[in-house]
Amino acid sequence: MGRHKNLVLGLGLAAWLLLLPAAPAGAAFEGPDLDGNWEFFALGYYEVFTTYCFGSLTVLDGEIVAGSGQYHSAPTTFRGSLGLSPGGQVVGNIAGRYDGGEYHYEFVSGQMNPRKDTIVGSGRNHNWWMCTFYLVKTN
Amino acid sequence: MRMRMRGGRPVLAALCLAALLAAVPAGAAQTFSQEDLAGRWLVFIYGAYETKTEHLFGTVDLDQAGSLVAGSNTYRGVENQFLGGWLGLGENGQISGGLQIETWALAFNFLRGQMDLSKTEITGIVTGQWYPCLIRMVKASGEPAPLD
């Protein structure tokens, strides 16, 4: 009887442990959650000016260590840094060069979702045009 | 051979197994296939160029091949239908293709798009009437996909 009791107890504990990662409500965020490959999308508008940008980037220890895509119609590379608070708020900037020029997008308010695979943000570009950002995790 | 287990071992074994499984990171890889596009999606598009803005919200039904089956939308305040379209889904979740609406036979073609790991959202930049737009698509049916 004692053996069966322990087995039931063990399986119960195992089931409880397995359920833990599926419960996003209490998800705690840590810096490494930013690490990996992301698809970046930005669109902004101010008065009569529009800016857009998209591409792939890789984050390691909060730094954008690789990335390329398109800034308006020009090919671009990415750099910059991102930070993540325990509550999932995202700060930082995504910058780049294109055709000899430079630009950057700065998060004013950003949030990672509980599944930690999408970031939605609002902010501005280097001209202070208001922008919306999305980062979608790809690995 | 006779196996003997003391009372505490099943507990330990089960805990070790659970710990190993639970250690799989939330960002584990996902496998995508074209059929993941099948179903009903809500579509939201916003863009602006000079003094013109464009916005669309609507619904599309896609089949297993990613082709448009039916759909309606409101584009710049005018209700109309989707004329056609097809979306492609790459093995890493990249989205290609586009959707065409009745108004001006306008086509929103993906310049870049990505399906999320749970296969319930698509985010991208698409061509618009005057300038590229931001598009978001949200799955209206089904469950989030488990990670591989």
Q: Is some CB atom of chain B closer than 8 A to the CB atom of A133?
A: no
pLDDT of residue B29: 77
Q: Is some CB atom of chain B closer than 8 A to the CB atom of A14?
A: yes
Rounded to two decimals, the ipTM of the complex is 0.80
Count of CB atoms situated within 10 Å of the CB of A77: 16
Three state DSSP letters for chain A: CHHHHHHHHHHHHHHHHHHHHHCHHHCCCCHHHHCEEEEEEEEEEECCEEEEEEEEEEEECCEEEEEEEEECCEEEEEEEEEEECCCCEEEEEEEEEECCEEEEEEEEEEEECCCCCEEEEEEEECCCCEEEEEEEECC
A11 lies in some domain: no
Q: Is some CB atom of chain A closer than 8 A to the CB atom of B117?
A: yes
A19 lies in some domain: no
pLDDT of residue A25: 53
From A2, A17, A50, residue closest to B19, measured CB to CB: A17
Mean pLDDT on B126-147: 91
Q: Flag if B92 and A138 touch (Cβ within 8 Å).
A: yes
Q: What is the pLDDT of residues B12-66, one digit of tens each?
A: 444 444 443 343 344 457 999 999 999 999 999 999 999 999 999 999 999 999 9
Q: What is the pLDDT of residues A73-95, one digit of tens each?
A: 999 999 999 999 999 999 999 99
pLDDT grade for A133, boundaries at 50, 70 and 90: very high
A61 lies in some domain: yes
What CATH number did the domain enclosing A83 receive?
2.40.128.120
Range of the domain at A90: 28-137
d(CA B126, CA B35): 22
Q: Hey, of B55, B108, B112, which one would you mutate to test binding to chain A, going by the most A CBs within 10 A of its CB?
A: B112
A7 lies in some domain: no
| 25-44 of A, contacting B, C-beta below 8 A | 33, 36, 39, 41, 43
Q: What is the mean pLDDT of chain A?
A: 88
pLDDT of residue B40: 97
Number of domains making up chain A: 1
| 1-40 of B, contacting A, C-beta below 8 A | 5, 7-8, 10-15, 17-19, 21-22, 24, 26-27, 29
Instruction: Look at B3 and B136; give whichever has higher pLDDT.
Output: B136
From A9, A48, A116, residue closest to B50, measured CB to CB: A48
Q: What is the pLDDT of residues B88-115, one digit of tens each?
A: 999 999 999 999 999 999 999 999 999 9
Residues in chain A within 8 Å Cβ distance of B135: none
A17 lies in some domain: no
Domain architecture of chain B: domains with CATH: 34-139 (2.40.128.120)
Q: Is some CB atom of chain A closer than 8 A to the CB atom of B148?
A: no
A6 lies in some domain: no
A14 lies in some domain: no
Q: What is the pLDDT of residues A21-75, one digit of tens each?
A: 444 555 799 999 999 999 999 999 999 999 999 999 999 999 999 999 999 999 9
A84 lies in some domain: yes
pLDDT above 70: residue B2: no
